[in-house]
A and B are shown apart, each in its own frame.
Chain A
Amino acid sequence: MFGNMFKKKRYLFEDEGVMVVDMDQTAGRYYDEAMKKLEIESYQGDEMVVNMGPQHPSTHGVLRLELVLDGEVVKKTTPHIGYLHRNFEKHAENIPYNEVIPFCDRIDYISSMNQGMGYALAVEKLIGLTELPEKVEYMRVLCCELNRIASHLIAIGTFGLDVGAITPFLWAFRDREQILDLLEWLTGARMLYNYIWVGGLAREVPDGWDAKVREFVDYFEPKMTEFNKLLTNNHIFIKRTVDVGVLPEDVAVSYGCTGPVLRGSGVKWDLRKDEPYSYYDKFEFDVPVGEGKFGPLGSVLDRYLVRIEEINQSVRIIRQALDGLQQHKGQDVRSAIPRRIRPADGAEAYVRSETPRGELGYLIRSDGTDVPSRVKARSPCFSNISVIDDISRGGMIADLVIIIGSLDIVLGCIDR
């Protein structure tokens, strides 16, 4: 048994591709020994094995990257994940449907509205609830887009920090604070909202909230111009990012990348347009795609520019959603919330939605009781980070840091 485990791992390691070891595949203490044995056999000469350990300022979470370096050049990257695994799927099998929602928020804690939205849509499909009040739909889109802006602000701010520019980070966070204040007024929490419930929303929208959102959007657009002047149009920044981490289209598709990572490589695929859910088909917005204006297509700069443009498009959607909200002001957001969620035995639903990081899918299977029998969350960051070995080979450590920043991973999403 021992020997078999080694044989299997050796085949996977021999340059066949990325080895992303999931913690619940191997037994704990044999795992470390196996890894050690493989490490020593697989590098030669004056290559250095360096751990970009779980605690590192730039890995955007507790991610351990094992790098095989030749001087400054990265030869192989092996991500080790599992440091933030919190048993989401196991928890979901033990509690009723609507009590799973706070757990969903914690999958991707930066854009938690989108996670709750995906789950709520999946359960609504499971129980066949299709007609929701328009106010609920518009509010859901509003919250998701506000959260998308907040999440992308973190992405571009920390990306600037990785490149070395400290000021854009603080400007992005200043604007994110405004959004967090709005959402705190709405839901009571700054980051983990627990607001989008199955069949509606948790709380009524306070008076004057939409006026404040409109004020925010008017305040925010010139700030993005300022941000672009500082970072995006900076010559050093462009030189630093333009030919780094090039992800070809076919590689991205074969790894299953989604979101800005896929769109940065030129593939025009956005679930909000291609498989619209909720009210997204009623809104007018563009899907930004990487164009390779300054250098090779699919570089880090393309992904960054896609995110910047997505912020602008989200602002457009928010304005339209505010108009829509204006028309249906008087409705009750809790009117369609089912009193009991008990789907049919054997019913199964898979719904996917577009989070700021990519395609998030929920598979929910029920066995006729109050408690789901299986909830599977397909996380976008898990597929996104699997390309990291491919695209960081031959670059330097500085490039690796930027590449991780451009993939915009959240470890909660990877590990769940």
Chain B
Amino acid sequence: MVEGIGIVLLKLAFVLLFVLNFGGLLTWVERKQSALMQDRIGANRASIFGIRLIGLFHTIADAVKMFTKESFRPVAAEKFLFTIGPGISVFFALVGFAVIPFGDVLIIGGKEINLQLAPLNIGVLYLFAVAGMAVYGVVLGAWASKNNFALLGGLRASAQMISYEVALGVTIIGSLMIYQTVELQEIVRWQGGTLWGWLPKWGVLMQPVGFILFLTVGIAQSKRVPFDAPEGESEIIGYFLEYSGMGFGMYMLTDFVETVMISAITVTLFLGGWQVPYLMADGFHFPWGATWQLENWAVALLQVGSFTLKVMFFLWLQMTIRWTLPRFRYDQIMRLGWKYILPISLVNILITGLIITLLK
């Protein structure tokens, strides 16, 4: 019993550290990657004892700044809701990581540890529930500020998020039909085999249309460019207009944590999660017949590493998209979600069903 709780706490610590570190790292990636793309240097002044470390200390500097800034609450704002708005946002962004598997089983001293924080059997539905609740942080924060601009931003945000929630569900259905399960660990395990002996059975090969649609919808859910009309910085500035200090910091943290979450979900559903091609539970089994035996801890390490690398790739991709594309107008976003993405994903379901029945 105590062992069980200890293991859960360790996994919890790992997941939290993973997520929060990536969230912090993303601020640095945003600055440096945007600087690279825009032909400039980026932030590189923060240093500890003279060591600059290409600007990595700016994450710590930003955190210190956020904490020490005056948290100003406008007089007309609703006290309680204004204070907990950002908290709700961050809570629902972080809590979604409970079902993401980042490795297979790790065998320590005869005990099998499933490298997934909460092996729920409703798997993907939990992610939808959390994505649906993320609207509240935005809406409550926006309304509680009692500012017309913030309210506009909150309205845009909630309408966009609810519309794209529907699309989020429908785009995945095709993949779920192929995987035959909703549990995330089983989904990743299903992607472990190979097609025709040498091609890894990843979801992106089974459902390319679903992959692209899901990535688009995921970016829309987390309100990143090109779908960042709610935080349209040059128009209405955003739903977090009245927040300063740590409140604003938490909304920004939500932004980055949701980016990591979308990357993690995409990787889990479409890119094989923690699967390394040709890596089985006891080592590598190459298609040309060679094998390479590995210890269980080495296999687990490789799996966690591969998951991290894939998530990093998608983070880089989302950052690149952010600095390249202009922003959609709000009604164009709604039109895209309802009139284009939803019908295409429904057709995708039909075609997938057809192919599955034909192949049986």
Q: Do A and B bind each other?
A: yes
**A contact set with B: CB distance below 8 Å:** 48, 50, 57-58, 72, 160-167, 170-171, 174, 230-231, 234, 236-237, 239-240, 396-399, 401
- Interface: B152 (CB within 8 A): yes
Sample of 11 more A-B contacts, CB < 8 Å, known A164-B225, A236-B326, A240-B332:
A50-B148, A160-B326, A164-B326, A165-B326, A166-B323, A167-B324, A239-B332, A240-B326, A240-B329, A396-B330, A401-B235
B98 to chain A minimum Cβ distance, whole angstroms, is 34
Is there an interface contact between A401 and B330, defined as CB atoms closer than 8 Å? no
Q: A50-B149, A164-B234, A167-B38 are in contact. Are A237 and B326 (CB under 8 A)?
A: yes
Q: A163-B326, A237-B326 are in contact. Are A57 and B38 (CB under 8 A)?
A: no
- Interface: B39 (CB within 8 A): yes
CA distance A162 to B234 in the complex (A): 6
- Mark contacts of B324-344 with chain A using CB atoms, 8 A cut-off: 1 yes-contact digit, 0 otherwise: 111111111000000000000
- Interface: B236 (CB within 8 A): yes
| CB < 8 Å A-B pair total | 76
Q: A58-B234, A170-B38, A171-B38 are in contact. Are A234 and B326 (CB under 8 A)?
A: yes
Is there an interface contact between A174 and B39, defined as CB atoms closer than 8 Å? yes
Q: A50-B148, A72-B152, A398-B229 are in contact. Are A58 and B326 (CB under 8 A)?
A: no
* Chain A contacts for B237, CB-based, 8 A: 57
* Chain A contacts for B329, CB-based, 8 A: 240, 396, 398-399
- Interface: B232 (CB within 8 A): yes
CA distance A163 to B225 in the complex (A): 11
Query: Nearest chain-A residue to B37 (Cβ)?
Result: A167
Is there an interface contact between B323 and A167, defined as CB atoms closer than 8 Å? yes
- Mark contacts of B191-227 with chain A using CB atoms, 8 A cut-off: 1 yes-contact digit, 0 otherwise: 0000000000000000000000000000000000110
Query: Nearest chain-A residue to B226 (Cβ)?
Result: A236
Query: What are 20 inter-chain pairs, A to B, with CB distance below 8 A?
Result: A48-B148, A57-B233, A57-B237, A72-B156, A72-B331, A161-B234, A165-B324, A167-B37, A167-B323, A167-B324, A170-B39, A174-B38, A231-B326, A234-B325, A234-B326, A236-B325, A240-B329, A396-B329, A396-B330, A398-B232
* Chain B contacts for A164, CB-based, 8 A: 225-226, 228, 232, 234, 325-327
* Chain A contacts for B37, CB-based, 8 A: 167
- 6 closest Cβ pairs, A-B complex: A164-B327, A165-B326, A170-B38, A163-B326, A164-B326, A58-B234
B241 to chain A minimum Cβ distance, whole angstroms, is 12
Query: Nearest chain-A residue to B151 (Cβ)?
Result: A48
* Chain A contacts for B228, CB-based, 8 A: 164
Instruction: Among B152, B235, B323, B332, find the residue whose CB has the most chain A CB atoms closer than 10 A.
Output: B235
- Interface: B244 (CB within 8 A): no
* Chain A contacts for B360, CB-based, 8 A: none
* Chain B contacts for A163, CB-based, 8 A: 326-327
* Chain A contacts for B229, CB-based, 8 A: 398
Is there an interface contact between B324 and A171, defined as CB atoms closer than 8 Å? no
CA distance A171 to B236 in the complex (A): 24
- Interface: B34 (CB within 8 A): yes
Instruction: Among A165, A166, A171, find the residue whose CB has the most chain B CB atoms closer than 10 A.
Output: A166
Query: Nearest chain-A residue to B149 (Cβ)?
Result: A50
CA distance A164 to B325 in the complex (A): 8
CA distance A174 to B148 in the complex (A): 36
- Interface: B69 (CB within 8 A): no
* Chain B contacts for A161, CB-based, 8 A: 234
Is there an interface contact between A171 and B232, defined as CB atoms closer than 8 Å? no
Which of A171, A231, A236 lies in contact with B39, CB distance below 8 A?
A: A171
* Chain A contacts for B330, CB-based, 8 A: 72, 396, 398
* Chain A contacts for B156, CB-based, 8 A: 72
Instruction: Among B148, B156, B324, find the residue whose CB has the most chain A CB atoms closer than 10 A.
Output: B324
Query: Nearest chain-B residue to A73 (Cβ)?
Result: B331
